[in-house]
Amino acid sequence: MTQYSEKVMDHFMNPRNVGEIENADGEGTVGNPSCGDIMKMYIKVEKDVIVEARFKTFGCGAAIATSSMATEMIKGRTIDEAMELTNEAVTEALGGLPKVKRHCSVLAEQALQSALDDYFKKKGLPSPIILKPEEEVHDH
Amino acid sequence: MTQYSEKVMDHFMNPRNVGEIENADGEGTVGNPSCGDIMKMYIKVEKDVIVEARFKTFGCGAAIATSSMATEMIKGRTIDEAMELTNEAVTEALGGLPKVKRHCSVLAEQALQSALDDYFKKKGLPSPIILKPEEEVHDH
Amino acid sequence: MINFDHAAATQPLPEVVDVMKPFLYEQFGNPSSMYVEGQAVKEAIEAARTNVAELIHSNPNEIYFTASGSEANNFALKGVAFANQKKGNHIIISAIEHFSVLQAAKSLTKLGFEVTHVPVDAQGFVNPDDVKKAITDQTILVSLMHANHEIGTIEPIAEIARVVKERDILFHTDAVQTAGTIPVDVDELQVDLLSMAAQNFYGPKGAGALYIRKGTRINPLIDGGIQENGRRAGTENVMGIVGMGKAAELAIQQLPERIQHVQNLRDQLIIGIEANIDEVFFHGSRENRLPNNANFGFRYIEGESILLFLGMDKIVASSGSACTSKALKASHVLLAIGASHEIANGTILFTLGIDNEEGHIKLLLEKLPVYVQRLREMSPLYEKK
Amino acid sequence: MINFDHAAATQPLPEVVDVMKPFLYEQFGNPSSMYVEGQAVKEAIEAARTNVAELIHSNPNEIYFTASGSEANNFALKGVAFANQKKGNHIIISAIEHFSVLQAAKSLTKLGFEVTHVPVDAQGFVNPDDVKKAITDQTILVSLMHANHEIGTIEPIAEIARVVKERDILFHTDAVQTAGTIPVDVDELQVDLLSMAAQNFYGPKGAGALYIRKGTRINPLIDGGIQENGRRAGTENVMGIVGMGKAAELAIQQLPERIQHVQNLRDQLIIGIEANIDEVFFHGSRENRLPNNANFGFRYIEGESILLFLGMDKIVASSGSACTSKALKASHVLLAIGASHEIANGTILFTLGIDNEEGHIKLLLEKLPVYVQRLREMSPLYEKK
Ligand SMILES: Cc1ncc(COP(=O)(O)O)c(C=O)c1O
Ligand SMILES: Cc1ncc(COP(=O)(O)O)c(C=O)c1O
């Protein structure tokens, strides 16, 4: 029906891990309504392992699907592993995205990075994460 | 087959009065090759009546057909009558001409006027004919 | 497929297709040639011209075929600008024009012209007083659209024309959304130039026209050649022109019933959405509005994802969202009427056509509230009450 | 009908018509939309773009569809002029360009540009040295046609390109008569821009394209919209584009046999005319010539009347005569190669196509000498020998 792959449509229609986590160990928001996308990501961490991940997203199909996929991909992973998650990996796991939608996967990576950054800060640790400025996230 | 009426095509395919008249009583040429049309008209006059009219024409279908029709129309007419022949009358007799070809009928009128002018001059009479300058004949 | 995206394109009617088919292959001939085959083609083009002229109450010799509404708009703006540059260099347009007008005007600014964009109010109306104030002694052209392609607002063109024509300034209107959709009369509107596109009234794609009032000073956009009375060169798209002519003829015949049909459905749609979904923003004017247009902003959520859900039910519509625009920018029209980015990105445009039925509206009204709620529950901006 | 007027338009091949038909009605969808229907249309357009790109050995992203060869020419000249006006204001064209190039250039002179018309020799060739001499430090564009539409002369484009490219000047060629007719390779020709038209290679009318080499600075002719990569606004003429693509594909496959076919017939025609009619003038080059083109001036007589006689046998050709041009002026090409008005007005252009057969040439050679003689005998310029 659309330009999206079946996998993207599946994650869009039946998104995994929608919602908030109260008292999350890490929480990050990226995007703004003028770009058309806002992603908010929450993680719950136990012994360096992400035991729960949730999101809320205002955005297009690709934004919702990448949020869903990204949260799926980090669940059960260590913080170090999660830090390695790239937008390319999320896109690949979704079976690809239309070219004009690539920036959405970048946004998911950024939301995760932002949540991880928050996790380090909340723990009083120096954050190894360098957040990219907003403009680079959205290249339009 | 073309934009021309049947009558025009008849006069084009089977032109009447093609040729020259040796020692014509009147003879006139109008047009030039850069306009795409040259008409030469000859008349033989007996007792003020045109007994013979001939033409030679370099030009398009309409030019040839109007030459043919004009010579037909003046044969047997008096000089005075011939002087009254208008391009509209020739066009009408041909069942009309495409708009872009109207100038060809003007050319036929002018060729006749020129032949009549020559006739008066040859007879040593003052010519009542005012020849239009070439530019007005061809408006392109 | 349930098509609620008629502003983008309508499907050619069978009668239109029927008149086009012979020109695919059999009716071969060069309309500029002296042969009968060519003459038949020429006559078909002239018959089409007459129909298009009648559609807007003008004369055939004032109709110039183009390949699109965009070409007609560029032709009008650039053609008038270049032909009248000795008179002045100032052009007035509105903030909500179609990109083809906006960008043509922008191009002209790089060639020494000045462009004023008059604002619109919250319903998308241009105020005649604003046009009056914007006029300078350099003004050579005012170009304001007849009706907006997104919010459906019909501009007070005739009223503005009075202001413009007082000053011997040329007046162009982009009627791509109105010609063939509502009555259009160039004399009532008092315009000198008017753009049309066939795909907006059940004609083919790739066929448009510019009305140019007799005596208007304008240069060609496409120079050379003797086609279109020397004002638009190029071998004619005979099939497209003939199709546009038939579409115009049918529009003239069927306009009242078409309007009634789409307006009735459209009103059901508006009432239904407002009754069943809260926090929706109705965009544009409720009175002076295209009969087939409904435009709503759905708070907290984004337009493309709404369209994706509707797409699962084979319902097609359009969105003001940055995500669905190829420029990845939220609708300049919505921003110009004061919508926030959030609302603009969450806006859906429904444009109806003669192929829509009550069942389509019913299905939409059954599904849409559910989808809106699902998306809101995913939205970080939404707080359930 | 026996068509010897293929330079004006060729009849679309059945295979071309077949791919177009579905887009008349069924394959409805907006190529810029996010829906599958639209995606299918988009894919069809991109496939066509690939075929057209291959036809001239370029890349799909360098092909911009237009509505005609004239639009492509105007796009090239005006687009390059406006985009490069900071670099310079001088343009070079030849004296025998198509009207769409001549007039586009003329329009630019009214906007501050300067145009040099390089002359051609008696066979219609541009001399590379003349181009070299015409170049100034203000020169931003050279536009020279690949082959002339009347006298069939193929210009030494690659040789001229060397002169032009030495100087970092953009080079455009009007290939409307060559693309799809003879091999065309943008890298061999070393051009930055190249115009094409589908109706010249058995494609539909109303479909053309401009090749724009990657990195070329050019402004749109039709601003607005996101179609054609932002360089040419307007709802696409999907049917025309798809037909052009198929025509390009077929041309690539069939080019050698097509060339052999028309050249063989054309040579019979030339030999036959020169053997059977005296006082004929062969126009153009005998060697560097379009394979389907023969052009003769018949002394003492006028072209339209020759065409009328041929028309009685259903033979269609074209003339350089003022009478058959809508501008009522003798061919500027013939005058530029030094033909007199008399000869120009008495010139007939025969352009052959794949639908011609030996029988056509036979009939022509049987009839033409008779008609020429009949007309000469009516001509005041002719003296029988
Ligand atoms: C050499 C040349 N250039 C340009 C054109 C214009 O093409 P179109 O009629 O598609 O605008 C023609 C038309 O025959 C031509 O022969
Ligand atoms: C108001 C308006 N003007 C111009 C256009 C451009 O028309 P086209 O796509 O035929 O170029 C459109 C297209 O939908 C439009 O809505």
**What DSSP assignment string belongs to D294-309?**
EEEEETTS-HHHHHHH
Question: Mutation test of the interface with chain B: which of D1, D2, D279, D304, choosing the one with the most B Cβ atoms within 10 A?
Answer: D304
Quick one: which of A139, A105, A117 has its CA closest to A43? A117
Alpha carbon distance B88, B94 (integer Å): 10
Domain count, chain A: 1
Q: Assess whether D362 and D219 both reside in one domain.
A: no
Q: Choose one of C220, C250, C280: the last residue of a domain.
A: C250
Would residue B103 count as lying in a domain? yes
- Neighbour tally for A120: CB within 10 Å: 16
Per-residue pLDDT of chain D (385 residues; tens, 9 = 90+): 899 999 988 999 999 999 999 998 766 666 656 666 677 888 999 999 999 999 999 999 999 999 999 999 999 999 999 999 999 999 999 999 999 999 999 999 999 999 999 999 999 999 999 999 999 999 999 999 999 999 999 999 999 999 999 999 999 999 999 999 999 999 999 999 999 999 999 999 999 999 999 999 999 999 997 778 889 999 999 999 999 999 999 999 999 999 999 999 999 999 999 999 999 999 999 999 999 999 999 999 999 999 999 999 999 999 887 776 666 688 999 999 999 999 999 999 999 999 999 999 999 999 999 999 999 999 999 986 5
Which residues are CB-contacts of B30 (< 8 A; sequence separation ≥ 6)? B38, B39, B107, B110, B111, B114, B134, B137
Q: Assess whether C112 and C231 both reside in one domain.
A: yes
The CATH number that applies at residue D342 is: 3.90.1150.10
| Model confidence band, residue B132 (pLDDT cutoffs 50, 70, 90) | confident
With CB atoms and an 8 Å threshold, state whether B1 touches C39: no
Q: Choose one of C215, C250, C285: the last residue of a domain.
A: C250
As a whole-number percent, the residues of chain C with pLDDT over 90 amount to: 89
Which residues are CB-contacts of D234 (< 8 A; sequence separation ≥ 6)? C67, C68, C69, C70, C71, C100, C206, C208, D222, D225, D227
The CATH number that applies at residue D241 is: 3.40.640.10
Q: Choose one of D194, D225, D250: the last residue of a domain.
A: D250
In this predicted structure, the answer to whether residue B105 has a pLDDT above a threshold of 90 is: no
C127-144 pLDDT tens trace: 999 999 999 999 999 999
Q: Collapsing DSSP states into helix, strand and coil, what is residue D138?
A: coil
Q: Assess whether C231 and C115 both reside in one domain.
A: yes
Which residue among A35, A65, A73, A108 is the active-site one?
A: A35
Would residue C49 count as lying in a domain? yes
Token output for C84: 């009248």
In this predicted structure, the answer to whether residue C199 has a pLDDT above a threshold of 50 is: yes
Full residue range of the structural domain in which residue D265 is found: 2-6+255-377
Would residue D36 count as lying in a domain? yes
Would residue A137 count as lying in a domain? no
Would residue B40 count as lying in a domain? yes
Any idea of the CA torsion for B24, B28, B33, B34, to the nearest 10 degrees?
170
| CA atoms in the 13 A half-sphere facing the CB of C253 | 8
With CB atoms and an 8 Å threshold, state whether A18 touches C340: no
Alpha carbon distance B49, B19 (integer Å): 20
Full residue range of the structural domain in which residue B51 is found: 6-122
What is the arithmetic mean of pLDDT over B56-65?
A: 93
Alpha carbon distance D99, D119 (integer Å): 16
Q: Assess whether C93 and C200 both reside in one domain.
A: yes
Would residue D236 count as lying in a domain? yes
Q: Assess whether D173 and D114 both reside in one domain.
A: yes
| Residue C104 CA from chain centroid, whole number | 16
Quick one: which of C161, C76, C77 has its CA closest to C126? C161
Q: What residue has token string 């000073």?
A: C217
Rank A122-126, C188-192, C235-239 by mean pLDDT and report only the highest: C188-192
CA quadruple C62, C68, C69, C75: dihedral positive or negative? negative
| Residue D16 CA from chain centroid, whole number | 20
C226 shares contact with chain B (CB less than 8 Å): no
Domain count, chain D: 2
Would residue A30 count as lying in a domain? yes
B63 shares contact with chain D (CB less than 8 Å): yes
Which residues are CB-contacts of D36 (< 8 A; sequence separation ≥ 6)? A1, A2, A3, D29
Question: Mutation test of the interface with chain D: which of C32, C41, C235, choosing the one with the most D Cβ atoms within 10 A?
Answer: C235
Q: Assess whether C18 and C95 both reside in one domain.
A: yes
What is the arithmetic mean of pLDDT over C330-348?
A: 94
For residue B136, what pLDDT is reported?
Answer: 45
CA quadruple B115, B116, B117, B121: dihedral positive or negative? positive
Would residue B127 count as lying in a domain? no
With CB atoms and an 8 Å threshold, state whether D341 touches B34: yes
Would residue D67 count as lying in a domain? yes
Would residue B1 count as lying in a domain? no
For residue D302, the chain B residues in CB contact (below 8 A) are 36-37, 58-60, 63
Q: What is the DSSP letter of A43?
A: E
For residue D67, the chain C residues in CB contact (below 8 A) are 66-68, 71, 206, 234, 237
Q: Assess whether D117 and D239 both reside in one domain.
A: yes
For residue A138, what pLDDT is reported?
Answer: 43
What is the arithmetic mean of pLDDT over C16-21?
A: 96
Q: Residue C29: what residue type? A: G
For residue C326, what pLDDT is reported?
Answer: 63
Burial class for D256, CB neighbours closer than 10 Å (0-12, 13-18, 19+)? exposed
For residue A136, what pLDDT is reported?
Answer: 45
Q: Assess whether C204 and C301 both reside in one domain.
A: no
**A–B contact: 3+ Cβ pairs < 8 A:** no
Alpha carbon distance A50, C69 (integer Å): 55
| Model confidence band, residue B18 (pLDDT cutoffs 50, 70, 90) | very high
| Model confidence band, residue A1 (pLDDT cutoffs 50, 70, 90) | very low
A28-61 pLDDT tens trace: 999 887 777 899 999 999 999 999 999 999 999 9
| Model confidence band, residue C31 (pLDDT cutoffs 50, 70, 90) | low
Residue nearest (by alpha carbon) to ligand 2 atom 13: C8
β-strands B37-46, B26-32 pairing:
antiparallel
Alpha carbon distance C194, C58 (integer Å): 11
What is the arithmetic mean of pLDDT over C293-318?
A: 94
Q: Assess whether D217 and D305 both reside in one domain.
A: no
In this predicted structure, the answer to whether residue B99 has a pLDDT above a threshold of 90 is: no
Q: What residue has token string 């390059």?
A: D80
Would residue C240 count as lying in a domain? yes
Would residue D264 count as lying in a domain? yes
What value of ipTM does the predicted structure carry? Answer: 0.92
Burial class for A125, CB neighbours closer than 10 Å (0-12, 13-18, 19+)? exposed
C83 shares contact with chain D (CB less than 8 Å): no
Would residue D301 count as lying in a domain? yes
Burial class for C352, CB neighbours closer than 10 Å (0-12, 13-18, 19+)? buried
The CATH number that applies at residue A88 is: 3.90.1010.10
Alpha carbon distance D209, D65 (integer Å): 4
Name the residue of C100, C241, C292, C332 to mutate for ligand 2: max ligand atoms within 8 A of Cβ: C100
D226 shares contact with chain A (CB less than 8 Å): no
What is the arithmetic mean of pLDDT over B52-64?
A: 94
CA of C120 to the centre of ligand 2 (A): 20
Which residues are CB-contacts of D176 (< 8 A; sequence separation ≥ 6)? D69, D72, D98, D145, D149, D195, D196, D197, D200, D208
Alpha carbon distance C66, C241 (integer Å): 9
Residue C53 Cα distances to C187, C195, C374, D365, angstroms? 12, 12, 49, 47
Question: Mutation test of the interface with chain A: which of D32, D34, D61, D229, choosing the one with the most A Cβ atoms within 10 A?
Answer: D34
| Model confidence band, residue A139 (pLDDT cutoffs 50, 70, 90) | very low
B2 shares contact with chain C (CB less than 8 Å): yes
Would residue D147 count as lying in a domain? yes
Among A12, A32, A35, beta carbon nearest to C308:
A12
Would residue B105 count as lying in a domain? yes
Alpha carbon distance C163, C143 (integer Å): 13
CA of D230 to the centre of ligand 2 (A): 15
Q: Assess whether C322 and C212 both reside in one domain.
A: no
Would residue B132 count as lying in a domain? no
Distance from CA of B98 to the nearest CA of C (A): 11
Which residue among C111, C323, C378, C381 is the active-site one?
A: C323
